[in-house]
Amino acid sequence: MEEQTFQTMLQAKTEEIEQILRSYLPKESGYQKTVLEAMNYSVLAGGKRLRPMLMQETYRMFGGSGGIIEPFMAAIEMIHTYSLVHDDLPAMDNDEYRRGRKTTWAVYGEGMGILAGDGLLNMSFETALQAFSKGMSLEEMRRTADALKILAGKSGVYGMIGGQTADIEAEEQESSISTEQLLFIHEHKTAALMQSSMMIGAVLAGAGEKDVKAIEKCAYNIGIAFQIQDDILDVIGDSAVLGKTVGSDARKSKQTYVTMNGLEQSKADVERLSEEAVTILNSFAGEHTFLEQLILNLVHRAK
């Protein structure tokens, strides 16, 4: 696919996702108005909407059509957003700015930042549960229940929250961390929500257990490659392009995949992981030209 065509499609798909997402956001009224404002402020801060896009593209690759995927697309973005809102809190990373915009707690106060995150996490389940409707067949009910189990599992203490915990623990630990520990953090903190997105897309489209497992592996590779590329960019990137101080992780003497394995090995691993991911995609008959390009652009991004 030509880069020009891809960019046009990317923009159209992102706009479609924005509209879906907005349709599930709360109206800002009532005595609890402030938390609703803080939630909407957080979600509408922009972002690539990568996770809903991975979900929708995987759904389509497995022949899925219809609206049942939409509440799940909104739900996964709410979970991703709440994790950023809580990560930015003073007791966590203490970030006042994200993407050049004040973070939620910096605008609404710390207490409201906590409540907005809680509100988004809770609302992600309220939203995904809207996929259950009265006229559903037993098979549709089962798929929806399975998708919900994936959504909850990959976000929780055996998924994203587990990775966030391990990351905080690693930062406080005096001894150096192991490769296993680093991969645990990347798998859970970063890959888990990508796995959740693609697996839910597959499950809702009716993919079998074996295919869902393959998709889980594919998304694992994407997540790890994405994270290694992040570490690579931190070393070689251009500070103006990246919008953050280059080498900031290294200066804080934080161990990264690159400090542990060297730059050349890290680059080779990104290639290997993304090629494997594409090979898995190619094992499926469904149309996935855009999805493949999305993954490659993601992994090879220069910022």
- 28 by Cβ neighbours in 10 Å (0-12 / 13-18 / 19+) ranks as middle
* 156 binds a copy of itself, rule: CB under 8 A: yes
CA distances from 92 to 85, 105, 143 (A): 10, 12, 36
State the minimum distance, in angstroms, from the CB of residue 28 to a copy of itself.
11
> Within a 10 A sphere around the Cβ of 153, how many other Cβ atoms?
15
Q: Which of 6, 107, 125, 260 binds a copy of itself (CB under 8 A)?
A: 125
State the minimum distance, in angstroms, from the CB of residue 265 to a copy of itself.
23
Q: Which part of the chain contacts a copy of itself (CB under 8 A), choosing from 145-153, 213-221, 255-263, 268-276? A: 145-153
Q: Which part of the chain contacts a copy of itself (CB under 8 A), choosing from 84-92, 190-198, 204-212, 220-228? A: 84-92
Q: Which DSSP letter does residue 27 get?
A: P
CA distances from 108 to 31, 42, 194, 255 (A): 16, 11, 29, 34
Number of residues engaging a copy of itself in binding (CB under 8 A): 57
> CA 50, CA 40: separation in Å to the nearest integer?
18
* 74 binds a copy of itself, rule: CB under 8 A: no
State the minimum distance, in angstroms, from the CB of residue 134 to a copy of itself.
8
Nearest alpha-carbon partner for 204 in 136, 124, 158, 277: 136
Structure tokens at 71: 């509440």
State the minimum distance, in angstroms, from the CB of residue 137 to a copy of itself.
8
* 40 binds a copy of itself, rule: CB under 8 A: no
* 188 binds a copy of itself, rule: CB under 8 A: yes
Q: Which part of the chain contacts a copy of itself (CB under 8 A), choosing from 160-168, 227-235, 284-292, 294-302? A: 160-168
The angle at the Cα of 231, spanning 226 to 235, to the nearest 5 degrees, equals 140
- Residue 23 or 279: the one with the smaller Cβ distance to a copy of itself is 23
Q: Which of 6, 10, 34, 275 binds a copy of itself (CB under 8 A)?
A: 34
What is the bridge-based pairing of β-strands 101-102 and 97-98?
antiparallel
Nearest alpha-carbon partner for 273 in 203, 187, 179: 187
* 76 binds a copy of itself, rule: CB under 8 A: no
- Ranges assigned E (strand) in the chain: 97-98, 101-102
Is residue 54 a contact partner of residue 201, using CB atoms and an 8 Å limit? yes
Window 218-257: contact mask with a copy of itself (x via CB under 8 A): ----------------------------------------
Nearest alpha-carbon partner for 73 in 16, 141, 146: 16
- Residue 63 or 90: the one with the smaller Cβ distance to a copy of itself is 90
Q: Which of 129, 263, 268, 302 binds a copy of itself (CB under 8 A)?
A: 129
User: Which residues of the shown chain bind a copy of itself in the complex (CB under 8 A)?
Assistant: 26, 30-32, 34-36, 39, 82, 86, 89-92, 109-115, 117-119, 121-123, 125-126, 129, 132, 137-138, 141-142, 144-145, 148-149, 152-153, 155-158, 161-166, 168-169, 181, 184-185, 188
